[in-house]
A and B are shown apart, each in its own frame.
Chain A
Amino acid sequence: MILEAVKYMILGMGVVYVFLIVMVYVLDWQHKLLLKFFPESFEDTPPPSPTSKRDKLKKVAAITAALHHMKKS
């Protein structure tokens, strides 16, 4: 009976491992597939602060340049 239980143990652990190993591979494959066909779902919404800051600085620079130009003329 003990031998039978050992047989069940090997069978059981085998099935659990096979199931989870197959799951690991399928999930990896699914990740690659989604990355290929739906890359946009992984992208973050771009953080708006750095570009808009630079834009603001550009505007400030343009206004100052314009003011200088006015004063000179």
Chain B
Amino acid sequence: MIGISFILFYLAIAKGFEPLLLIPIGFGGLLANIPLANIIGDGGFIGELFKAGIANELFPILIFMGVGAMTDFGPLLANPKTALLGAAAQFGIFGTLVGAVALSQWGIFDFSMQDAAAISIIGGADGPTTIFIASKLAPDLLGAMAVAAYSYMALVPVIQPPIMKALTTEEERKIKMTTKRKVSKLEKMMFPITVLVLTILILPESSPLIGALTFGNFVRESGVVERLSKTLQNELINIVTIFLGLSVGSKLAAEYFLVPETLGILILGLVAFSIGTAAGVIMGKIMNKLSSEPINPLIGAAGVSAVPMAARVANRVGMESDPTNVLLMHAMGPNVAGVIGSAVAAGVLLSIF
């Protein structure tokens, strides 16, 4: 297990994969495996952190506030239709749920329905949501799931482009999108309230996650509490990330991690991620055919959350075909819709199980 911690350090430091999380997680794993010190048990400092913030799902919620404060929903407001791409990409979650259940049925892995649901949420490419769901539905698998989710988020630039290229033609990748309309300050300010009201009406189970997200965003867009907005974006999210990373790392104890299920989680997580990307791109192609305005299918791949990495990848792949085609702002629309989409999907899973 200590070896795995060092692999995480290597990935974070030498390869630059999500160092903000993999360093605390790796070190948490290291501390968790020190014999006799009882760091992760009752009364141990990481054990207490775990009880204080992961067991009761507090830390993921706090992270969501920070994410809300950091996210500019302007690109989504300028072209709301692109939210549908963010919905399509959530197919990765539910497609994998079926896959995981099927594999258990055939005796390849041994996952219960709850476990399968928790694993499939990795396809939402959203770290806090994954931890939120895992701590509720499958606490034993938390360590492996968090490591899988954050590793795949870091690997977005490696995993996504081959899928995107396989599903689109050169002409489709060259499609230029029309410039967007102006979004007013008032409109941005109304957005978090509108989304929250919709959540309460349609899916109250999602309101902890969406509520925190919209609170953070409202603080940002209200424009009068710059201090709070800065704290949410920097100090709060940084402190919580340290606590969250260490606590998640404590689940990297050998008896939880070195089990065959971990391999299953890593494989299914990758599948979930790939299906999500593919579903987004295919939805992009369909929308391009049906819609009056041209839509570049590449931005569909940004529908998996992973803000803003997935949008950057869409932009880069587009530029490889046509260097003058800047898709970044267009891709941010489905990207931020993906965050809302995966929070909604999480709410659905919570209401079922």
Q: Which residues of A contact B (CB under 8 A)?
A: 1-2, 4-6, 8-9, 11-13, 15-24, 26-28, 30-31, 34, 38, 41-42, 44
Mask for B197-218, Cβ within 8 A of A = 1, else 0? 0110011000000000000000
With A20-B341, A23-B80, A23-B83 known as contacts, the answer to whether A12 contacts B94 (CB < 8 A) is yes
Query: Which residues 70-110 of B have a CB within 8 angstroms of A?
Result: 77, 80-81, 83-84, 86-87, 90-91, 93-95, 97-98, 100-102, 104-105
Mask for B148-185, Cβ within 8 A of A = 1, else 0? 00000000000000000000000000000000001011
Q: Give the complex CA separation of A16 and B205 in angstroms.
A: 13
A9 touches B98 (CB 8 A): yes
A18 touches B202 (CB 8 A): yes
Q: How far is the CB of B185 from chain A (nearest CB, A)?
A: 6
Q: Nearest CB to that of A38 among chain B residues? A: B186
Q: How far is the CB of B294 from chain A (nearest CB, A)?
A: 18
Q: Which residues of B contact A (CB under 8 A)?
A: 77, 80-81, 83-84, 86-87, 90-91, 93-95, 97-98, 100-102, 104-105, 113, 116-117, 182, 184-187, 190-191, 194-195, 198-199, 202-203, 337, 340-341, 344-345, 347-349, 352
Q: Given the complex, which residues of A lie within 8 Å of B81, measured CB to CB?
A: 24
Q: Give the complex CA separation of A28 and B344 in angstroms.
A: 20
With A20-B84, A38-B186 known as contacts, the answer to whether A13 contacts B203 (CB < 8 A) is no
Instruction: Pick the residue among A2, A16, A26, A34 that contacts B186 (CB under 8 A).
Output: A34
With A16-B344, A23-B83, A27-B80 known as contacts, the answer to whether A2 contacts B98 (CB < 8 A) is yes
Q: How far is the CB of B152 from chain A (nearest CB, A)?
A: 20
Q: Identify 18 new A-B residue pairs, CB closer than 8 A, beyond the known A27-B77, A34-B186.
A: A4-B113, A8-B352, A11-B348, A12-B345, A13-B90, A15-B345, A19-B202, A20-B344, A22-B198, A23-B195, A23-B198, A24-B80, A24-B81, A24-B84, A26-B198, A27-B80, A41-B184, A41-B187
Number of A-B contacts (CB under 8 A): 110
Q: Given the complex, which residues of A lie within 8 Å of B87, measured CB to CB?
A: 13, 16-17, 19-21
Q: Given the complex, which residues of B lie within 8 Å of A31, measured CB to CB?
A: 77, 187
Q: Nearest CB to that of B352 among chain A residues? A: A8
A16 touches B90 (CB 8 A): yes
B348 touches A1 (CB 8 A): no
